[in-house]
Amino acid sequence: MPAAFHPISTPLGDLGAAFGGDGKLVQLVRFHGKPPDPPTGPAPKSLPYLKRQLEAYFSGNLRDFNIPMVAEGTEFQQRVWKELQKIPYGQAISYLELARRLGDEKCIRAAARANGANPIVILIPCHRVIGSDGSLVGYGGGLDMKEFLLRLEGVLPKAPPQPRLPLEWD
């Protein structure tokens, strides 16, 4: 488990990035509330690169990340996370389809648990897995984050503009 998170400001609020001793990204998480204090040591060399890639992603100019990363988990979790990385930008699959791609429809619950245990959000696109009926079910970062990311990638239509209330009454 990494000792410290480096804060990254995004349109979704602060994310925290943690790196292993080799400089590879090991966690990228969304903070709910106040983020922890930033680390006291020097930032890894890959942190500015990660920040630039996330900025490009959120501005719609990046679809594929190439940050060195290693997600620690069981052999099954590793298989699920590799499969998630095969889902193209702008597409989503169901949990059932994820289980089928893993070779066994019966592993749907285990695949959903592994999806939820993903330690590197956005880069390992667990947000691209939805319910069989198209519903946005289960997401560790919050359903608001999942919806935002799927709208950003064009899986869901852009949110309609909210009606503006008059600032003053006539």
Active site residues: 126
Residue with tokens 């949990």, as numbered in its chain: 95
**Structure tokens belonging to residue 3:** 């000792």
- β-pairing, 129-130 vs 93-94, is parallel
Report the alpha-carbon distance of residue 10 to residue 7 in Å, rounded: 10
- β-pairing, 129-130 vs 13-19, is unpaired
**Structure tokens belonging to residue 5:** 């998170």
CA distances from 130 to 80, 91, 100 (A): 15, 10, 14
Residue 76's Cβ-count burial label (10 Å; 0-12, 13-18, 19+) is middle
State whether the Cα torsion 97-99-100-101 is positive or negative.
Answer: positive
